[in-house]
Amino acid sequence: MTERLVLHEYSASGNCYKVRLTAALVGKPLDRREYDIMKGETQTPDFLANVNSNGRIPVLQVGDRFIPESNAAAYYVAEGSNLVPTDPFDHADMLRWMFWEQYNHEPNIATLRFWMRYVGPDGLNDLQRAQMPGKRQAGNAALRLMDEHLRQREWFVGKSISIADVCLFAYSHVAGDAEFNLASYPAVTAWLERIKGHPHYIAMTA
């Protein structure tokens, strides 16, 4: 695969970091184009018509075609590498954690982080404020489920790192930004350190 890959992104987003970290781990070059979501740069007519009609980043550009959705973009970048298991059960189990991340983890931990760190308390409306305790509880339930799973294993699927780990790492390692107490989840903390110790690891700010 030699086509040029361009990541359309907002670099502070953990969803965008998933794709960058995947590319680093598999050694693929990735061009980057930054949009300021706080200024509505992914809601312009040009972006909606030509990049993603859903108005969200990240979007991975492959030649002149586009793949929205962070976990699908990470999959594309990793395809054919050892980050994607070939055994059918392990492969489905990897997707299971990636779908779980989008349903049970990201809407709670990432959304709280965004509300608390980027929008700020004064920018939230009443409905958002009313949802915070539920998202706090669901975010802790997600971290607890991860912690229980990781007590018996080093990686989410099989015996080596996969993109399930990468996709779950993105918002787990910054959960403290949303005042989740990672020290309460020692197996998660140890797993975060294992990923940071990967020889090709790059930080979110890189």
Residue ranges in contact with a second copy by CB under 8 A: 1, 53-54, 62, 65, 67-73, 75-76, 79-80, 88-89, 91-93, 95-96, 98-100, 102-104, 106-107, 127, 130-131, 134, 145, 148-149
Q: How far is the CB of 96 from a second copy (least distance, A)?
A: 4
Q: How far is the CB of 205 from a second copy (least distance, A)?
A: 25
In this structure, are strands 59-62 and 31-34 parallel, antiparallel, or unpaired? Answer: unpaired
CB atoms within 10 A of CB 53: 11
In this structure, are strands 5-9 and 31-34 parallel, antiparallel, or unpaired? Answer: parallel
Tell me whether residue 58 is exposed, middle or buried, using C-beta atoms within 10 angstroms of its C-beta: 0 to 12, 13 to 18, 19 or more. Answer: buried
End-to-end CA distance of the chain: 25
Nearer to a second copy, 60 or 192 (CB): 60
Nearer to a second copy, 3 or 205 (CB): 3
Q: How far is the CB of 125 from a second copy (least distance, A)?
A: 10
Nearer to a second copy, 95 or 182 (CB): 95
Nearer to a second copy, 64 or 122 (CB): 64
The strand pairing partners of 7, in sequence order, are: 32, 60
Q: How far is the CB of 163 from a second copy (least distance, A)?
A: 11
Q: Answer yes or no: are the C-beta atoms of 128 and 115 closer than 8 Å.
A: yes
